[in-house]
Homo-oligomer: A and B are copies of this chain.
Amino acid sequence: MNTFELNLKYVKDEVGKALSTSPLVIRTYTKHLLKSEGKYIRAASVLAAAQRADGSIHPDAIKFAASIEILHLATLVHDDVMDNADVRRGVPTLHKEYGRKTAVICGDYLLALAINTANQVESREAYINYQLPNYMEEIALGELSQHLNNGNYRLKMDDYLKIIEGKTAKLFEASFYAGAVTSQEDKEVFDTYKRIGYHVGMIFQMLDDCIDFEETIKIALKPVQSDFEQGVITLPLIHAFDQNPDYIEIAEKGDLSRKEVNQIVKQAEGVHYTKQEAQRYYEIAHKDIMSLDIENEKREELLSILDLAAKK
Protein backbone atom coordinates (compact mmCIF):
# COMPACT_ATOMS: atom_id res chain seq x y z
CA MET A 1 0.00 0.00 0.00
CA ASN A 2 1.54 3.32 -1.00
CA THR A 3 1.01 6.54 0.94
CA PHE A 4 -1.89 7.56 -1.23
CA GLU A 5 -3.70 4.28 -0.73
CA LEU A 6 -2.96 4.44 2.97
CA ASN A 7 -4.52 7.90 3.19
CA LEU A 8 -7.54 6.67 1.28
CA LYS A 9 -7.83 3.91 3.85
CA TYR A 10 -7.77 6.56 6.58
CA VAL A 11 -10.66 8.32 4.86
CA LYS A 12 -12.65 5.11 4.75
CA ASP A 13 -11.90 4.59 8.44
CA GLU A 14 -13.03 8.14 9.14
CA VAL A 15 -16.30 7.60 7.27
CA GLY A 16 -16.75 4.35 9.16
CA LYS A 17 -16.10 6.11 12.46
CA ALA A 18 -18.62 8.84 11.67
CA LEU A 19 -21.23 6.27 10.69
CA SER A 20 -20.49 3.97 13.63
CA THR A 21 -22.51 6.14 16.02
CA SER A 22 -25.48 6.31 13.67
CA PRO A 23 -28.60 4.17 14.10
CA LEU A 24 -28.48 0.56 12.94
CA VAL A 25 -30.76 1.10 9.98
CA ILE A 26 -28.42 3.74 8.57
CA ARG A 27 -25.29 1.70 9.22
CA THR A 28 -26.75 -1.40 7.61
CA TYR A 29 -27.52 0.42 4.43
CA THR A 30 -24.40 2.55 4.17
CA LYS A 31 -22.16 -0.46 4.90
CA HIS A 32 -23.48 -2.05 1.73
CA LEU A 33 -23.07 1.12 -0.25
CA LEU A 34 -19.54 1.73 0.99
CA LYS A 35 -18.49 -1.84 0.28
CA SER A 36 -19.54 -1.65 -3.31
CA GLU A 37 -18.00 1.81 -3.72
CA GLY A 38 -14.67 0.93 -5.26
CA LYS A 39 -13.47 4.27 -6.46
CA TYR A 40 -13.94 6.84 -3.75
CA ILE A 41 -12.99 9.29 -6.47
CA ARG A 42 -14.12 12.37 -4.54
CA ALA A 43 -12.03 11.43 -1.53
CA ALA A 44 -9.09 10.66 -3.79
CA SER A 45 -9.52 14.15 -5.30
CA VAL A 46 -9.31 15.76 -1.87
CA LEU A 47 -6.19 13.77 -1.03
CA ALA A 48 -4.45 14.52 -4.30
CA ALA A 49 -5.11 18.24 -4.00
CA ALA A 50 -4.10 18.18 -0.34
CA GLN A 51 -0.63 16.81 -0.95
CA ARG A 52 2.16 19.04 0.33
CA ALA A 53 5.65 19.49 -1.09
CA ASP A 54 7.06 16.83 1.22
CA GLY A 55 4.42 14.34 0.13
CA SER A 56 2.47 14.54 3.40
CA ILE A 57 -1.10 15.67 3.93
CA HIS A 58 -2.67 17.45 6.89
CA PRO A 59 -5.10 15.29 8.93
CA ASP A 60 -7.81 17.87 8.18
CA ALA A 61 -7.78 16.66 4.58
CA ILE A 62 -8.93 13.25 5.83
CA LYS A 63 -11.86 14.89 7.63
CA PHE A 64 -12.80 16.92 4.57
CA ALA A 65 -12.57 13.87 2.33
CA ALA A 66 -14.76 11.86 4.70
CA SER A 67 -17.30 14.68 4.92
CA ILE A 68 -17.57 14.88 1.14
CA GLU A 69 -18.04 11.13 0.77
CA ILE A 70 -20.78 11.25 3.43
CA LEU A 71 -22.46 14.15 1.64
CA HIS A 72 -22.28 12.11 -1.55
CA LEU A 73 -23.90 9.16 0.24
CA ALA A 74 -26.68 11.46 1.46
CA THR A 75 -27.43 12.59 -2.07
CA LEU A 76 -27.50 8.97 -3.27
CA VAL A 77 -30.03 8.08 -0.58
CA HIS A 78 -32.31 10.97 -1.52
CA ASP A 79 -31.81 10.30 -5.23
CA ASP A 80 -33.10 6.80 -4.70
CA VAL A 81 -36.20 8.13 -2.95
CA MET A 82 -36.85 10.45 -5.84
CA ASP A 83 -36.16 7.92 -8.57
CA ASN A 84 -38.01 5.14 -6.81
CA ALA A 85 -34.86 3.15 -7.57
CA ASP A 86 -34.78 -0.45 -6.46
CA VAL A 87 -31.11 -1.20 -6.87
CA ARG A 88 -27.96 0.85 -6.46
CA ARG A 89 -24.61 -0.71 -7.25
CA GLY A 90 -26.15 -4.16 -7.12
CA VAL A 91 -27.59 -3.65 -3.64
CA PRO A 92 -31.29 -3.07 -2.86
CA THR A 93 -31.77 0.60 -2.01
CA LEU A 94 -32.60 1.81 1.48
CA HIS A 95 -35.72 3.25 -0.07
CA LYS A 96 -36.75 -0.17 -1.38
CA GLU A 97 -35.87 -2.07 1.75
CA TYR A 98 -37.02 0.25 4.52
CA GLY A 99 -39.50 2.53 2.82
CA ARG A 100 -39.62 6.13 1.77
CA LYS A 101 -39.82 7.65 5.22
CA THR A 102 -36.66 6.00 6.49
CA ALA A 103 -34.78 6.99 3.37
CA VAL A 104 -35.80 10.65 3.60
CA ILE A 105 -34.76 10.80 7.25
CA CYS A 106 -31.51 8.89 6.69
CA GLY A 107 -30.58 11.27 3.92
CA ASP A 108 -31.21 14.23 6.22
CA TYR A 109 -29.16 12.60 8.94
CA LEU A 110 -26.26 11.99 6.56
CA LEU A 111 -26.39 15.60 5.35
CA ALA A 112 -26.03 16.78 8.94
CA LEU A 113 -23.31 14.21 9.62
CA ALA A 114 -21.37 15.39 6.58
CA ILE A 115 -21.32 18.98 7.79
CA ASN A 116 -20.52 17.96 11.35
CA THR A 117 -17.60 15.89 10.09
CA ALA A 118 -16.27 18.84 8.10
CA ASN A 119 -16.66 21.00 11.20
CA GLN A 120 -14.36 18.70 13.14
CA VAL A 121 -11.21 19.96 11.41
CA GLU A 122 -8.57 21.40 13.71
CA SER A 123 -8.40 24.88 12.29
CA ARG A 124 -11.76 25.95 10.91
CA GLU A 125 -10.71 29.61 10.83
CA ALA A 126 -7.98 28.73 8.32
CA TYR A 127 -10.53 27.40 5.84
CA ILE A 128 -13.24 29.97 6.36
CA ASN A 129 -13.92 30.36 2.62
CA TYR A 130 -14.39 26.68 2.01
CA GLN A 131 -17.93 25.95 3.11
CA LEU A 132 -19.51 22.57 2.47
CA PRO A 133 -23.09 23.87 3.01
CA ASN A 134 -22.61 26.22 0.06
CA TYR A 135 -21.98 23.18 -2.10
CA MET A 136 -24.93 21.39 -0.56
CA GLU A 137 -27.08 24.28 -1.77
CA GLU A 138 -25.63 24.07 -5.29
CA ILE A 139 -26.25 20.35 -5.46
CA ALA A 140 -29.89 20.77 -4.45
CA LEU A 141 -30.33 23.47 -7.09
CA GLY A 142 -28.80 21.19 -9.74
CA GLU A 143 -31.13 18.38 -8.75
CA LEU A 144 -34.11 20.72 -8.77
CA SER A 145 -33.25 22.00 -12.21
CA GLN A 146 -32.87 18.44 -13.50
CA HIS A 147 -36.23 17.57 -12.08
CA LEU A 148 -38.00 20.65 -13.42
CA ASN A 149 -36.60 19.75 -16.83
CA ASN A 150 -37.81 16.19 -16.54
CA GLY A 151 -39.25 15.10 -19.86
CA ASN A 152 -38.22 18.35 -21.50
CA TYR A 153 -37.14 17.07 -24.90
CA ARG A 154 -36.23 20.59 -25.95
CA LEU A 155 -33.51 20.84 -23.34
CA LYS A 156 -30.53 22.66 -24.78
CA MET A 157 -26.93 21.65 -24.26
CA ASP A 158 -26.28 24.75 -22.13
CA ASP A 159 -29.08 23.84 -19.77
CA TYR A 160 -27.81 20.28 -19.62
CA LEU A 161 -24.34 21.54 -18.71
CA LYS A 162 -25.81 23.78 -16.01
CA ILE A 163 -27.70 20.85 -14.53
CA ILE A 164 -24.72 18.50 -14.35
CA GLU A 165 -22.62 21.35 -12.99
CA GLY A 166 -24.91 21.50 -9.98
CA LYS A 167 -25.65 17.87 -9.49
CA THR A 168 -22.10 16.57 -10.02
CA ALA A 169 -19.33 19.01 -10.91
CA LYS A 170 -19.79 21.23 -7.85
CA LEU A 171 -18.98 18.42 -5.42
CA PHE A 172 -15.81 17.65 -7.35
CA GLU A 173 -14.98 21.35 -7.23
CA ALA A 174 -15.52 21.18 -3.47
CA SER A 175 -13.21 18.16 -3.27
CA PHE A 176 -10.30 19.83 -5.01
CA TYR A 177 -10.92 23.06 -3.10
CA ALA A 178 -11.05 21.28 0.26
CA GLY A 179 -7.79 19.52 -0.50
CA ALA A 180 -6.07 22.69 -1.67
CA VAL A 181 -6.95 24.73 1.43
CA THR A 182 -5.13 22.16 3.59
CA SER A 183 -2.12 21.95 1.26
CA GLN A 184 -0.04 25.00 2.27
CA GLU A 185 -0.21 26.24 -1.28
CA ASP A 186 -0.78 29.90 -2.12
CA LYS A 187 -4.35 31.17 -1.95
CA GLU A 188 -3.83 32.38 -5.53
CA VAL A 189 -3.98 28.84 -6.91
CA PHE A 190 -7.17 27.83 -5.08
CA ASP A 191 -9.21 28.95 -8.07
CA THR A 192 -7.14 26.71 -10.32
CA TYR A 193 -7.87 23.74 -8.09
CA LYS A 194 -11.56 24.60 -8.04
CA ARG A 195 -11.57 24.80 -11.82
CA ILE A 196 -9.79 21.45 -12.16
CA GLY A 197 -12.38 19.89 -9.85
CA TYR A 198 -15.20 21.44 -11.79
CA HIS A 199 -13.91 20.06 -15.09
CA VAL A 200 -13.17 16.64 -13.64
CA GLY A 201 -16.75 16.53 -12.38
CA MET A 202 -18.21 17.60 -15.72
CA ILE A 203 -16.21 14.90 -17.51
CA PHE A 204 -17.24 12.33 -14.93
CA GLN A 205 -20.95 13.07 -15.41
CA MET A 206 -20.84 13.32 -19.21
CA LEU A 207 -19.19 9.93 -19.47
CA ASP A 208 -21.59 8.55 -16.89
CA ASP A 209 -24.43 9.72 -19.11
CA CYS A 210 -22.84 7.85 -22.01
CA ILE A 211 -22.84 4.64 -19.97
CA ASP A 212 -26.63 4.79 -19.83
CA PHE A 213 -26.56 4.01 -23.55
CA GLU A 214 -24.57 0.81 -22.99
CA GLU A 215 -26.48 -2.29 -23.79
CA THR A 216 -26.45 -4.25 -20.56
CA ILE A 217 -26.19 -3.76 -16.83
CA LYS A 218 -23.35 -6.26 -16.86
CA ILE A 219 -21.10 -3.99 -18.89
CA ALA A 220 -22.07 -0.82 -17.05
CA LEU A 221 -22.21 -2.26 -13.50
CA LYS A 222 -25.23 -0.05 -12.92
CA PRO A 223 -28.75 0.21 -14.34
CA VAL A 224 -28.61 1.30 -17.97
CA GLN A 225 -31.18 2.36 -20.52
CA SER A 226 -33.03 4.15 -17.74
CA ASP A 227 -32.37 7.90 -18.12
CA PHE A 228 -34.79 8.40 -21.00
CA GLU A 229 -37.39 6.24 -19.27
CA GLN A 230 -37.12 8.50 -16.24
CA GLY A 231 -37.41 11.64 -18.32
CA VAL A 232 -33.73 12.54 -17.83
CA ILE A 233 -32.48 14.00 -21.08
CA THR A 234 -28.70 13.82 -21.48
CA LEU A 235 -26.20 15.06 -24.02
CA PRO A 236 -26.12 12.03 -26.35
CA LEU A 237 -29.86 12.40 -26.89
CA ILE A 238 -29.79 16.22 -26.99
CA HIS A 239 -27.28 15.92 -29.81
CA ALA A 240 -29.45 13.37 -31.61
CA PHE A 241 -32.49 15.66 -31.33
CA ASP A 242 -30.39 18.52 -32.64
CA GLN A 243 -29.61 16.44 -35.70
CA ASN A 244 -33.20 15.17 -36.08
CA PRO A 245 -35.58 17.79 -34.67
CA ASP A 246 -38.57 15.87 -36.04
CA TYR A 247 -38.15 13.30 -33.31
CA ILE A 248 -38.73 15.91 -30.61
CA GLU A 249 -42.42 16.11 -31.39
CA ILE A 250 -42.68 12.35 -31.60
CA ALA A 251 -41.11 12.12 -28.15
CA GLU A 252 -43.47 14.78 -26.83
CA LYS A 253 -46.39 12.73 -28.04
CA GLY A 254 -44.99 9.79 -26.09
CA ASP A 255 -44.46 7.88 -29.31
CA LEU A 256 -40.68 7.48 -29.13
CA SER A 257 -39.62 4.01 -28.02
CA ARG A 258 -36.36 3.27 -26.26
CA LYS A 259 -35.31 1.32 -29.30
CA GLU A 260 -35.80 4.39 -31.50
CA VAL A 261 -33.96 6.54 -28.98
CA ASN A 262 -30.99 4.20 -29.23
CA GLN A 263 -31.23 4.26 -33.00
CA ILE A 264 -31.23 8.02 -33.39
CA VAL A 265 -28.46 8.40 -30.81
CA LYS A 266 -26.40 5.85 -32.69
CA GLN A 267 -27.13 7.46 -36.03
CA ALA A 268 -26.20 10.93 -34.78
CA GLU A 269 -23.17 9.51 -32.96
CA GLY A 270 -24.47 11.11 -29.78
CA VAL A 271 -22.16 9.14 -27.52
CA HIS A 272 -19.16 9.99 -29.64
CA TYR A 273 -20.18 13.65 -29.65
CA THR A 274 -20.51 13.64 -25.86
CA LYS A 275 -17.10 12.04 -25.46
CA GLN A 276 -15.63 14.69 -27.70
CA GLU A 277 -17.16 17.40 -25.52
CA ALA A 278 -15.75 15.67 -22.46
CA GLN A 279 -12.38 15.63 -24.19
CA ARG A 280 -12.50 19.43 -24.47
CA TYR A 281 -13.01 19.63 -20.70
CA TYR A 282 -10.23 17.10 -20.29
CA GLU A 283 -7.79 19.32 -22.11
CA ILE A 284 -8.66 22.36 -20.00
CA ALA A 285 -8.21 20.37 -16.79
CA HIS A 286 -4.99 18.86 -18.10
CA LYS A 287 -3.60 22.27 -18.89
CA ASP A 288 -4.55 23.55 -15.44
CA ILE A 289 -2.84 20.61 -13.77
CA MET A 290 0.30 21.18 -15.83
CA SER A 291 0.29 24.87 -14.89
CA LEU A 292 0.59 24.17 -11.17
CA ASP A 293 3.96 24.65 -9.51
CA ILE A 294 3.97 21.28 -7.72
CA GLU A 295 6.08 18.16 -7.23
CA ASN A 296 5.91 15.55 -9.96
CA GLU A 297 4.36 13.01 -7.64
CA LYS A 298 1.41 15.30 -6.89
CA ARG A 299 0.98 16.10 -10.56
CA GLU A 300 0.85 12.41 -11.36
CA GLU A 301 -1.87 11.87 -8.81
CA LEU A 302 -3.96 14.76 -10.06
CA LEU A 303 -3.57 13.45 -13.60
CA SER A 304 -4.55 9.95 -12.57
CA ILE A 305 -7.78 11.28 -11.06
CA LEU A 306 -8.48 13.16 -14.25
CA ASP A 307 -7.92 9.93 -16.16
CA LEU A 308 -10.12 8.02 -13.76
CA ALA A 309 -12.97 10.48 -14.33
CA ALA A 310 -12.35 10.26 -18.07
CA LYS A 311 -12.37 6.45 -17.75
CA LYS A 312 -9.08 6.29 -19.66
Please, how many angstroms separate the alpha-carbon atoms of A150 and B81 in the complex? 19
Q: Is B144 touching A106 in the complex (CB atoms < 8 A)?
A: yes
Q: A144-B23, A147-B101 are in contact. Are A111 and B82 (CB under 8 A)?
A: no
A298 to chain B, nearest CB (A): 31
Chief secondary structure at chain A's binding surface: helix
**A115 contacts which of B108, B133, B147 (Cβ < 8 Å)?**
B133
CB contacts (< 8 Å) of A108 on chain B: these are 78, 107-108, 111, 136, 139-140, 143
Check if A141 is an interface residue, CB within 8 A of chain B.
yes
Q: Which of A127-147 contact B (CB under 8 A)?
A: 128, 131, 133-134, 136-137, 139-141, 143-145, 147
**A104 contacts which of B82, B128, B131 (Cβ < 8 Å)?**
B82
CB contacts (< 8 Å) of A131 on chain B: these are 116, 119
A130 to chain B, nearest CB (A): 12
Copies in the complex: 2
- The interface bits of chain A over 260-277 (1 if a CB of B lies within 8 angstroms of the residue's CB, else 0) are 000000000000000000
- The interface bits of chain A over 90-117 (1 if a CB of B lies within 8 angstroms of the residue's CB, else 0) are 0000000000111011111101110110
CB contacts (< 8 Å) of A128 on chain B: these are 124
Q: A116-B134, A125-B125 are in contact. Are A140 and B105 (CB under 8 A)?
A: yes
Q: Which A residues are within 8 Å of any B CB, using their own CB?
A: 23, 25-26, 78, 81-82, 100-102, 104-109, 111-113, 115-116, 119, 124-125, 128, 131, 133-134, 136-137, 139-141, 143-145, 147-148, 150
Question: Which 7 residue pairs are nearest across A and B when measured between Cβ atoms?
Answer: A109-B140, A112-B136, A112-B137, A115-B133, A82-B101, A108-B140, A105-B144
